[in-house]
Amino acid sequence: MTHRHGHDHHTPGPDADARLLLLSLAVILAFTALEVAVGIIAQSLALLADAGHMLTDASALVIALVAARAASRPPRGPWTFGFGRAEILAAQANGIALALVGVWITVEAVRRLLEPREVDAALVLPVSLAGIAVTGLVAALLARAERRSLNIRGAYLHILTDVAAFAGTALAALLILLTGWNRLDPAASLAVAALALFAAWTLVRDSGRIFLEGAPPSAPPDEVGEAIVAHPGVVEAHDVHVWTVTSGFPALSAHVLVDPAADCHRIRLELERVLRDRFGLEHTTLQVDHVGVGSGLTIDRYPQGNVGEH
């Protein structure tokens, strides 16, 4: 006997958060333009580095909006899971772009450490303080949005790093005013680069894990398999696969063998409840068979408690 369980795969639409994302994007673009202009006039690499980082934040928000719109399209034709992974593809692209920005900032910072330029710290300081206020506002806006999406979570992380980057730039400008040591500006930009590279690594790592169909941290396959075979009436579980379709959409499939006298339908429903409550697995496809029925398997060959992958 075979039982399968499925769910509709409609990703929540982007309308609920679209206004917050668009408002955040408008604020970021306006301030970035101001920052680039002041950075060029003041000869501040730290400000230009912050501006480059904020441009990646802006692109992340744009791609998040486009990808979220694509992800909201229902499954059809050959796209049986819909287009949810458009968000993951966008997140990986954003991570790679952010890494390239981090590398560029690092190279330029090293050059300016070797050949320092005059920095107009009196101009950099107020702009940096304004940057703290602006990015803090955007972070507050994004904190109200749905951050289950890897894209939105990545954008939120970028904005938080911008808050820290502006704080570092402001501190560097203040110290330059006090000491006159211009190398503090590229030193601050190195801190920005480190934050950008860290954010890039988290995005590439998390999106790569999904593309490689790794199990989500909330549902380790060994623990999931042990939970299945520990259920009363279950003899064995094999072909246990746990993966993530897209952000917030973990899935599982498994072949479960039960005692000949057990109720397959009841055990399937009970297992679905256990997997949902304990591991957050809302989408499960369980093939539940009696031992020795249509499979050639026997209880003696597969003792209770064994988890195998065949």
Q: What local confidence, expressed as pLDDT, does residue 17 receive?
A: 63
Listed range (45-49, 110-114, 177-181, 279-283) with the worst mean pLDDT: 45-49
Q: Is the confidence at residue 38, as pLDDT, over 50?
A: yes
41-56: average pLDDT: 75
178-187: average pLDDT: 85
Q: Is the confidence at residue 296, as pLDDT, over 60?
A: no
Ramachandran angles phi, psi of 162, nearest 5°: -65, -40
Q: What local confidence, expressed as pLDDT, does residue 217 receive?
A: 87
* DSSP-derived secondary structure letter, 309: -
Alpha-carbon distance of 149 to 64, in angstroms, equals 9
89-111: average pLDDT: 85
Q: What is the CATH number of domain 221-308?
A: 3.30.70.1350
Highest mean pLDDT among 63-72, 161-170, 226-235: 226-235
Buried b (16+ CB within 10 A) or exposed e, 76-107: eeeeeebbbbbbbbbbbbbbebbbebbeebbe
Tell me the C-alpha to C-alpha distance, in Å, between residue 18 and each of 22, 119, 134, 159: 6, 39, 19, 17
Q: Is the confidence at residue 303, as pLDDT, over 70?
A: no
* DSSP-derived secondary structure letter, 79: B
Q: What local confidence, expressed as pLDDT, does residue 275 receive?
A: 95
Computed over every residue of the chain, the mean pLDDT equals 79
Close Cβ partners of 205 (under 8 Å, ≥ 6 residues apart)? none
Q: How confident is the model at residue 302 (pLDDT cuts 50, 70, 90)?
A: very low
Higher pLDDT, 118 or 209: 209
Q: Is the confidence at residue 238, as pLDDT, over 90?
A: no
Q: Is the confidence at residue 98, as pLDDT, over 50?
A: yes
Q: How confident is the model at residue 228 (pLDDT cuts 50, 70, 90)?
A: very high
Q: What sign does the CA torsion over 10, 11, 16, 19 have? A: negative
- For domain 15-211, give the fold: Alpha-lytic protease prodomain-like (1.20.1510)
142-160: average pLDDT: 73
Q: What is the 3-state secondary structure (H, E, C) of 23-47?
A: HHHHHHHHHHHHHHHHHHHHCCHHH
237-264: average pLDDT: 89
Close Cβ partners of 26 (under 8 Å, ≥ 6 residues apart)? none
Q: Which parts of 79-219 fold into alpha helices (H)?
A: 85-114, 121-143, 150-179, 184-211
Q: How confident is the model at residue 1 (pLDDT cuts 50, 70, 90)?
A: very low
- Helix 15-42 with 150-179: angle, nearest 10 deg: 20
**Rounded percentage of the chain residues whose pLDDT exceeds 90:** 17
Highest mean pLDDT among 8-22, 167-181, 260-274, 296-310: 260-274
Q: Is the confidence at residue 138, as pLDDT, over 90?
A: no
Q: What local confidence, expressed as pLDDT, does residue 148 receive?
A: 62
Q: What local confidence, expressed as pLDDT, does residue 86 receive?
A: 77
Q: Is the confidence at residue 309, as pLDDT, over 60?
A: no
Burial of 290 (0-12, 13-18, 19+ CB in 10 A): middle
Listed range (147-161, 168-182, 274-288, 289-303) with the worst mean pLDDT: 289-303
Per-domain residue ranges of the chain = 15-211, 221-308
Q: What local confidence, expressed as pLDDT, does residue 18 receive?
A: 67
Q: What local confidence, expressed as pLDDT, does residue 16 receive?
A: 55
